[in-house]
Amino acid sequence: MTRVLFVCTGNVHRSVLAERLLAARLPPGSAVRPASAGTLARPRSGMEASTRAVLEELGGDGSGFAARPLTAQLVAEAALVLGLAHEHREAAVRLAPTALRRCFTLKEFVRLAAGRVDTARGGEGTATTHSDVPDGQVPPVVDGFDVVVAATASRRGAAAAVPPAEDDISDPWGRPRSVLYGCAREIDGTVSTLARLLGGGASL
């Protein structure tokens, strides 16, 4: 099992949507197990009603959810930690500094990984680099989850900088349903690409 942990503030909207929409977009039999937590979350059972409604409209499963606070143990146990904004990635790193190379924002990870995908081949420990992939065409990853994460981390300092806000997904808390729905659609598009990048998600 390979755990991908999404982090937002309250574990009410953004990270919940990312967790459950990724689960819906992964191929059957994937070893990737999405999870979520919030930097200021309060433990509670059940999904917030508006989040569940939007999630299920997009084809996700809203059952069996429980909000929980982010902890050092959750970060340490995750193969990949994806904040919905920079503040969430930074909070994860503060809790578990050794996880730095496994912590990104969701949009940052997809931007870096999709721009130049390294595909591990059949357990050989090698990788093929695709640096000329047309826009919108992301080759699937075949095995090697750890190779993908490590290669993406290595490109973080080499890639052209973007304004920090471009890698954040805005918090829809307290805003109209249309804003929440737009947020969900943005997350869905991003995690759909992530699902292809992670492929079957071989366990680390």
Tens of pLDDT along the chain (204 residues) come to 899 999 999 999 999 999 999 999 999 999 999 999 999 999 999 999 999 999 999 999 999 999 999 999 999 999 999 999 999 999 999 999 999 999 999 999 999 998 754 333 333 333 333 333 344 444 444 357 888 899 999 998 888 888 888 999 999 999 999 999 999 999 999 999 999 998 755 433
Phi and psi for 46 in degrees, rounded to 5?
Answer: 90, 145
What pLDDT, on the 0 to 100 scale, is given for residue 116?
A: 52
What pLDDT, on the 0 to 100 scale, is given for residue 134?
A: 42
Q: Which residues pair with 67 in a beta bridge?
A: 44
The 3-state DSSP class for residue 176 equals coil
What is the model's pTM? 0.86
Contacts of 18 (CB under 8 A, 6+ apart): 6, 34, 36, 82, 84, 106, 187, 190, 191
What pLDDT, on the 0 to 100 scale, is given for residue 135?
A: 42
The 3-state DSSP class for residue 133 equals coil
Q: What's the 3-state SS for 75-102? A: HHHCCEEEECCHHHHHHHHHHCHHHHHH
What pLDDT, on the 0 to 100 scale, is given for residue 161?
A: 81
